[in-house]
Each structure stands twice: as C-alpha cells, then as structure tokens.
Copies of this chain bind each other. A is one copy, B any other.
Amino acid sequence: MKKFVNDPKQFVPEMLHGLARANPGTIKYVPAYNLIMRTDAPNDAKVSIIQGSGSGHEPAHVMAVGRGMLDAACPGDVFSAPPVDYISETTKLLRSAKGVLYLVNNYTGDRLAFEMAAELSDAEGIKVETLIINDDVAVSDSTYTVGRRGVAGNFFVIKAVGAASEKGADLGQLMTIGKKVNGVTRSMGIALSSCTPPAKGVPLFDIAADEIEIGIGIHGEPGRRRAKIVSATEIVTLLLDAIVPDLPYKAGDKVALMANGLGGTPISELYLLYGLAHDQLEKRGIKIGRSYVGEYCTSLEMAGASLTLMRLDDEIEALLAADAETPIRVF
C-alpha cells in the first residue's frame, strides 16, 4: 500500500490533528469524540449545523467546518459511519438555543447513526432536525442505500444552510432551504481507478486498464455499468445525458455547475471536463450562473470525477455568494 500513513488505525485522528494544526484559531479537534468544530461554536444566536459521514471523502466534511459552513463535523473511520455516541457528544458540545441541524448524505449506516443520536439528543432536551441529501442520479438503490446516494451536491446544501444560519434563520427555515437546494441538485460520477482504504490495504475493487465505471459510488460501490474508456467529450455527454433530463434542467434555466475530482485526478483534467460541460450545457440552452472546479467529495485517491448541476434562483444565488471561511476554498 503506497500512502502517507503511519498506523492505519490512526489515519483519521492524524489527519484531523493536522487539520487543526493548520487552522489554529478557527478550528478545534476534540480527540475524545474524534470531532472537528469551530472554535467560536456554539452560538445561541444561530442554529448549529453538524454533518457526519465516513472519512475518505475529504474535503467532505471535516474541511467544510468554518464560518458560513458547518459548525462541526463527526467523521467515522474511512468509509464507516460515525459512532452514535460521538454524534451525541458532538451534539451536546454544539447545543444552541436555536437548535441543531444534522446534514446526512443518504447512506443507511449514516442515517441509522444520526437517527439514534437524534433520539438521544431529544432526551437531553436538544432540538434537532435532520436533512437527508440524495443528489446522485446514478442508481435508485445501491449497496449502501435505500434510495439515491448523497454525493458532491451536498456542498451546495452546506453552503446554503450555512449562509442562512449565519443570518439567524431558524431550524424550520433551514430545513426549507436545505430541502429546496437538495431538490434542484443532481450529480453523477465516473471512476477511472479504484482506491485503497488504509486499514484494508488492498484496492476496493478491480478495474481493467481500459475500463471506466459509470455512475460510481463514493465508496467504490457499483454504478450503472462498466464501459471501455472514451474521450472526455463523450464522458461529459453521457454524464449530462443522465443528469439533465432527471430534474429536468430546461433551456432557459440558470444553474451552478460543479466538476468534482474523486481524489486522484489532477486539477488540469477537472478544468478540461468543466469547460466541455459548460459548452455542452450552453448548447442545450442552459445558462451557467456559478462555477465550481476542484475536490469537494472524494474517494481517497480514486481517479475520476463527477458533475453536479444545481438550478439557481435569486435566493439560492445570494446564499452561495455569501462570505464563508473554511480550510478549503468553497465558493
């Protein structure tokens, strides 16, 4: 296994330690519950927003903690849901008079853990609401989900509810905004390679030197089909042919367009894909209002990419344009 790693069991804690060391003053690492939180949270004037999931998808979600984004993140081990008691302890630490919002990508393990944590929090008298994100059009059920998976489109939800919560929106308003954003967001990805979880030590799946997995899941779970690799233009076409009709996005719509890297694909290739997707959407009569290119939700060092579209309106655009400060450049 070729990775920068010490003891694989310490991979996540050592990453979180580094994250906190690189961002003193804005971010705090609490090793006892393996959580990352804003140093200035909680704040009774705003709802606390918490996201959790397995690790290995960085920058999601631990590097999305900061002003205008998440108040805390509960990472599990690589590709494993966070423990219920850690979520529960995080919720206690982030308790706010305005309540706590859980953002959960739709994976069965994560949903169960957050449901149980919500019950524990309720017993503590903490007001909690949970918003499920499911932007991946690739498959309707999957290895780890009933219903669609949540992938990189998740970042638009974080950004929108994060901005609204900074302005004092209450829990009900945040749920409305989050559901609205999730409802107009669609994604699909393609893998060129597999990836190796540190504790596993071998690749998650095999893929031939000339093959791609269309509709890949972010834990290496199967998508729609295997195919021979084709040109970047053809890849963009087949992703947009899956994404655009799904909502559908129509001629005259204005959208945000994201080209997300899965971890091992260089930024040069992501910009190349972005440019092709931008041009193809314009030819379909769809206007690009905002552009996002980089890594937002990854699968360790997997080579691959996903495209996400979100339909914009004035309310959403204002929330996306609001100032934010996290370890990654978000918007």
Interface residues of A (CB under 8 A from B): 2-6, 11, 14-24, 55-56, 58-59, 63, 192-193, 209-210, 212, 229, 231-233, 235, 259, 263-276, 278-279, 288, 291-295, 298, 300-301, 303, 305, 327-329
Contacts and interface: CB of A to CB of B under 8 A. Distances in A.
Given A2-B209, A6-B233, A59-B267, 13 more contacts: A2-B212, A4-B265, A4-B305, A5-B269, A14-B276, A15-B272, A18-B273, A18-B276, A22-B293, A58-B266, A58-B271, A267-B295, A269-B301
A291 B21 contact: yes
B303 A268 contact: no
Contacts of A303: 2, 264, 301
B58 A18 contact: no
B4 A232 contact: yes
Given A15-B275, A273-B18, A278-B18, A232 B268 contact: no
A6 B231 contact: yes
A12 B229 CA distance: 20
A235 B275 contact: no
Given A18-B273, A271-B18, A193 B58 contact: no
Contacts of A2: 192-193, 209-210, 212, 229, 303
Given A6-B232, A266-B58, A271 B329 contact: no
A301 B266 contact: yes
Nearest to A208: B2
7 contacts: A2-B193, A5-B272, A6-B232, A6-B233, A15-B272, A18-B275, A63-B267
A189 to B, nearest CB: 12
Contact of A275 (B17, B56, B229): B17
